Amino acid sequence: MEKFIDKECRAKSVSPLTLAFLGDGVYDLLIRDFLVTQANRPVGELNRLKISVVCCQAQSKAMKKLLDADFLTEEEMSVYKRGRNSTVNNVPKNSSAADYHSATGFEALLGFLYLQNKIDRITEIFDFAVKEELL
């Protein structure tokens, strides 16, 4: 995957929730791409699989895997913490506040890496923390 818009952006100056907004889209695209390229299944089944991993519980689980393995760089950890500690007004009814905050941090990390055009690093993180859940 290459960055769609080749425009300079100071990723460090973007708010954590804005990074999470972008990271949510990056994550969704990674999941959809993986599912479509790995399995020629009906769209309804693909959507059910996507929904099972594009949720804060699954993202929080992926983040825990990264943290337990000490997989992130110091800078990545800082971005994750900024996202995790951001004030959010809504927590989905079907998830805990802790999972939601962790997922927000995970999405912020993906958004940050995307803005820095670190697509290879996004792929490494995805392969390590998420891919096996989809197989």
Categorise residue 73: left if φ over 0, alpha if ψ from -120 to 50, beta otherwise.
Answer: beta
**Catalytic residue status for 24:** yes
**Active-site option among 24, 28, 99, 127:** 24
- Residue 1's alpha-carbon distances to 34, 61, 88, 89, in angstroms, are 11, 24, 30, 32
Confidence at residue 4, expressed as pLDDT on a 0 to 100 scale: 55
| 47-101 confidence digits (pLDDT tens) | 998 988 899 999 999 999 999 999 999 999 999 999 999 987 787 778 898 999 9
| 16-62 confidence digits (pLDDT tens) | 999 999 999 999 999 999 999 987 889 999 999 898 889 999 999 99
- Tell me how crowded residue 46 is: count the other CB atoms within 10 A of its CB: 17
57: three-class secondary structure by DSSP: helix
Please tell me the CATH superfamily of domain 14-85+95-134, with its number: Ribonuclease III domain (1.10.1520.10)
What is the Cα–Cα distance from 73 to 99, expressed in whole angstroms? 22
Q: What is the pTM of this model?
A: 0.90
